[in-house]
């Protein structure tokens, strides 16, 4: 077959195939084999290389780039992983809720959480201090503790 006679083209297609497979599969490691294959294709384009040397270049470039860059690139593409209190520390998240007025839909008493409605969703809420809030009353969100809103009297 004519395609397999052109070594540069075969390695180039293999490199592109690895990159394509990286794009459609989870994980982050096929890109380095694509880089190795494309390196061999580039080297083969400029000079004839023995088959054993081509495989050696492929293995060395793939493994070295995998060991050197995978962890760094993976964290770059995955972004920040949420921690237990990450949402609470995020000013964009908390800014959406703190200071908003909500309606109490289940009585809230000191030491006895109830429910409020915010944006059409029921949230568990608790009052700090000695204030009690009856269903139907309006209160303000003062803080967020996990998935519980801390409320105060208007």
Q: pLDDT tens across 110-136, in order?
A: 888 999 998 888 999 999 778 889 999
So where are the chain's domains? 3-78, 86-153
Spans in the chain with pLDDT lower than 50: 1-3, 85-87
Query: Whose CA is closest to 18, among 3, 35, 5?
Result: 35
Q: 86-153 — its CATH code?
A: 2.40.50.140
pLDDT score for 101: 92
């Amino acid at each position: 077959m004519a395609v397999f006679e052109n070594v540069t083209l075969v390695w180039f297609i293999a490199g592109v195939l690895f990159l394509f497979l990286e794009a459609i599969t989870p994980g982050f490691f096929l890109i380095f084999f694509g880089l190795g294959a494309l390196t061999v294709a580039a080297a083969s384009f400029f000079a004839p290389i023995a088959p054993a040397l081509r495989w050696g270049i492929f293995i060395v470039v793939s493994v070295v780039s995998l060991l050197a860059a995978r962890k760094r690139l993976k964290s770059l593409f995955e972004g920040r992983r949420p921690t237990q209190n990450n949402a609470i520390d995020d000013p964009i998240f908390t800014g959406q809720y703190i200071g908003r007025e909500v309606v109490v839909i289940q009585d809230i008493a000191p030491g006895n959480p109830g429910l409020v409605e915010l944006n059409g969703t029921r949230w568990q809420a608790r009052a700090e201090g000695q204030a009690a809030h009856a269903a139907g009353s309006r209160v303000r969100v003062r803080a967020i503790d996990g998935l519980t809103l801390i409320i105060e009297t208007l």
